[in-house]
Amino acid sequence: MTTTETTTYRIEDATSPLWFGRWPSGWGDVVHGAGRGEACSSAAMIDAAGLAWTVEQCPLEAVLAIGEDGYPTARAPVPRVVANLRSDTRTVLGVVGEGYEPLQNRAAFAFCDAITDSGEAHWLGAGETRGGARVHALMRLDREIKIGNAEGEDVLPLLCFRNGHDGGLAVTISVAPFRLACLNGMMLPLEGADRTWKARHTANLDARLVDARRTLGIAWRYYDELEEIGGRLLREPMSAAEFERFLSRLVPLPEPRLDRTNGGRAVQNVERVREAITTAYRATPDLANITGTSWGALQAVAAYVDHVQPTRATAGRSHYEARFERATEPAALKDRALALLTEGGTQS
């Protein structure tokens, strides 16, 4: 997606999850959708998303010598660690301490049933990243959110559930709000409202229901605050000069001494980022109705981060996966933009 393209989604489009990943620079098949009613339980969602595999643990050995035929001739056990192995592909997901107990996908996702069974949320999709080292589910809260009660400012209120099999992530719940018109991720740091928190894993149904109510309460508080702050930013006008001051503080120029050591590339990089955000702010059709406001400036930054900023594929993560993580996890540039806009940063 370039900064001048538009998606122009409507709230009706979000009744089906299939629109996720369809827009350019989207998520590909990182989220496997399930229409409302098609996956009414975690077990059905796991099957639909291909997450029915389990995690097995295997001891590790160090190869001490290799013979002329290429096979090991001497090995030694590696103490205090084991490998987490994916049952269907037999690939290693991570190396963890020997006391680590994997939380299987079916057991972890069962927590989500207590949330969807509340009648206040429903399944949207699920999937995996990093070869299965991380798994996730998306649920939509059954609530309508419209920033400033303005036309075209619908926000899709999602919850994102994550679990890791590489030892680096505990069961985690986070809000995942999206401005529907452009699918900008709006996971912002809001005062007095958590955007991510740990889920308690328990087999006890009563305890699980208590934690589900706790999760929904945290989510409601966050989305209440997002509506309040978003409405305030939408009502706050921003002149062209104020936008330029905001941008200069958001993406400051490097010190001349540092730039000289990089052959001037640092200044060029700053100028490219500023130009991309400015283009989004002034020329993107789905931002036209909010240009000239602080909310529009924030959305221009989000559009750059989610849809334009380059991603880097690695051996364990594709470009699609990188974009999914960027849109559903905290992003430093979005956080800084909100801080400047809510602290009067454009007025000085």
Q: What is d(CA 139, CA 160) in angstroms, rounded to the nearest whole number?
A: 7
* This prediction's pTM: 0.86
The residues, ordered by sequence, that sit 6+ positions from 257 with a Cβ below 8 Å of its Cβ are: none
Q: What is d(CA 218, CA 222) in angstroms, rounded to the nearest whole number?
A: 6
pLDDT tens across the length of the chain (348 residues): 344 444 554 444 444 444 454 554 568 788 887 655 566 788 888 998 999 999 999 999 999 899 888 888 899 999 999 999 999 999 999 999 998 999 999 988 888 888 988 889 988 889 999 999 999 999 999 989 999 999 999 999 999 999 999 998 888 999 999 998 888 999 999 999 999 998 876 666 677 788 889 999 999 999 999 999 999 999 999 999 999 999 999 999 887 765 555 657 888 899 999 999 999 999 989 999 999 999 999 999 999 999 889 888 787 888 889 889 888 999 999 999 999 999 854 443
177-191 b/e (C-beta count within 10 Å ≥ 16 → b): bbbbbbbbbbbbebe
Structure tokens at 138: 């998306």
Q: What is d(CA 50, CA 127) in angstroms, rounded to the nearest whole number?
A: 8
Phi and psi, residue 58, nearest 5°: -130, 145
Helices (H), 193-318: 205-235, 240-250, 256-261, 265-283, 294-303
Q: What is d(CA 300, CA 283) in angstroms, rounded to the nearest whole number?
A: 10
* Model confidence pLDDT, tens digit, residues 140-182: 999 899 999 999 999 999 999 999 999 988 889 999 999 988 8
* Angle, vertex CA 135, rays to CA 334 and CA 119, nearest 5: 85
Structure tokens at 224: 């209440």
Q: How far does CA 4 lie from the centroid of its chain?
A: 23
What residue type is 88 in one-letter code? Answer: D
